[in-house]
Amino acid sequence: MNFSPAPHKDKDIRKLITELVRDGWVILGGRKHYKVRSPKGHTLSMSNSPGCPYALKQIEADVRRIKRIEEK
């Protein structure tokens, strides 16, 4: 599997990352921020310890945006 050195601290975001990896996304390691690259090369950066309670929703929205762009 393609996981970065330290798993994400939020279990819901860990689950999302696992699903993305299964869909062909690649995790680029990082200490304070994860970088996740889509199969077509778009990159998404996310904090390892998000302070915002809406972080998961924002990440999901970013993933949907990237998928929509790549479908065109």
Q: What is the pLDDT of residues 39-67, one digit of tens each?
A: 999 999 988 877 888 999 999 999 999 99
Structure tokens at 69: 């762009």
The reply to whether 5 falls in a domain is no
Query: Contact at 8 Å (CB) between 39 and 23?
Result: yes
The reply to whether 2 falls in a domain is no
The reply to whether 65 falls in a domain is yes
Structure tokens at 9: 């601290």
What proportion of the chain, given as a percentage, has pLDDT over 90? 46
The reply to whether 32 falls in a domain is yes
Residue 2 confidence (pLDDT): 52
Structural domain tally of the chain?
A: 1
Residue of 34 and 45 predicted with greater confidence: 45
Return the axis-axis angle of helices 55-71 and 11-22, rounded to nearest 10°.
20
- What residues make up the domain containing 58? 11-71
